[in-house]
Amino acid sequence: MYFAMDEGNIAEQSQKLETLLKELPDGLYCYALLDDGFDYKRRKIWQTKASWPLYDQPDWAELREVSPRLVALQPGYQTELQQLLRHCKGRPMLSFLTSPLSAPALRDAWQRSLNATTEDGQWYVVRFADTRIAASLPRVLATAAWQRLCEPVAQWLIIDRHGQLQALPMPPKTLPPDALDPWLLSAQEFTALMHASQADVLADQLHEGFADLLPSSGAVLHGWLQRSADLLAEHHIEDAPEQLTVAVAVCYSQGRLLDDPRLIQILKSFVEQRCSLSEGLASLLGEAQTS
């Protein structure tokens, strides 16, 4: 599987994290949050350390192999920290948290936020340990839902698309909701979550069929594809073949097509008059090459 992200500088990442650990206020713990779903080789370099999988209840038995897990971090173990960063580089599986709760208590507090129910009654797993998803949550979730997820956390840092440590914006603290309250995901939130993932779906398809068109930077590719996904949504182009056609054209142009005002007209013509999308894009790309 391809991930539209850059690896970043491990030495720089570990130095920033070591500083965070050394300056951690009294009463706070620091954890790595790892998503086992991306640990294909199953090396599990943390097996020699205590860890706390979030999917530890009987209802989650079938998903336990891909469970997010917490690993406690302490200052003075920079070599181990670099090993962890090196193992996870280029995969959206590693973030860092501070919390006043012990690891077992944080795991237990998060049991009520592992999944939500959609408006049509579907069970939806919220894979917030996937950093691609985590990056979108402050933007796409309602404030109450983001508060629910962050209630036991003081700080949340992910390794972003550029391989940099990025602090997620924390919501204002409110009284914690009842632990028995179900998490109901609105149609608007669900649609926004699906839209936020569209660029990654296209990136994986492009890597499989058009790898020679991809830029060296996964972060640059994601930027192109996110803009493409926004345009496709704006013009209500929802069929996968047409979406991929636009993405291929954007990559063939090295992103320049996105700044060509004629692209909007081609998309409108496709939607309103059912003109050939591939022919229109091919013509536009041909003109761009000869100009």
Predicted confidence at residue 175, as pLDDT, reads: 60
Residue 8 token pair: 């970043």
Residue 263 token pair: 């692209």
- CA proximity to 271, closest of 238, 228, 230: 238
Predicted confidence at residue 44, as pLDDT, reads: 58
Question: In this predicted model, what pLDDT tens digit does every residue of 45-89 receive, in sequence order?
Answer: 556 578 899 999 898 989 988 999 999 998 888 888 998 999 899
Cα–Cα distance measured from residue 262 to residue 209, given in angstroms and rounded to the nearest whole number = 26
* pLDDT over 80 at 264, yes or no: yes
**What is the CA 153 to chain-centroid distance, rounded?**
18
CA dihedral 170, 174, 179, 183 (to 10 degrees): -60
Predicted confidence at residue 41, as pLDDT, reads: 64
Predicted confidence at residue 197, as pLDDT, reads: 96
Predicted confidence at residue 76, as pLDDT, reads: 85
Question: In this predicted model, what pLDDT tens digit does every residue of 93-142 receive, in sequence order?
Answer: 999 999 999 999 999 999 989 999 999 999 999 999 999 999 999 999 99
Cα–Cα distance measured from residue 89 to residue 164, given in angstroms and rounded to the nearest whole number = 11
First to last CA, the chain: 37
DSSP for the chain reads: ---------HHHHHHHHHHHHHTPPTT-EEEEEEEGGG-TT---TTTTS-EEES--SGGGGGGGGG-EEEEEE-TT-HHHHHHHHHHHTTSS-EEEEEESS-HHHHHHHGGGGSEEEETTS-EEE--TTSHHHHHHHHHHS-HHHHHHHHTT-SEEEEE-TTS-EEEPPPPPP-PPPPTT---EEPHHHHHHHHHHHHHHHHHHHHHHH-GGG--S-HHHHHHHHHHHHHHHHHTT---HHHHHHHHHHHHHTTTGGGG-THHHHHHHHHHHH---HHHHHHHHHHHHHH-
- CA proximity to 247, closest of 265, 270, 224: 224
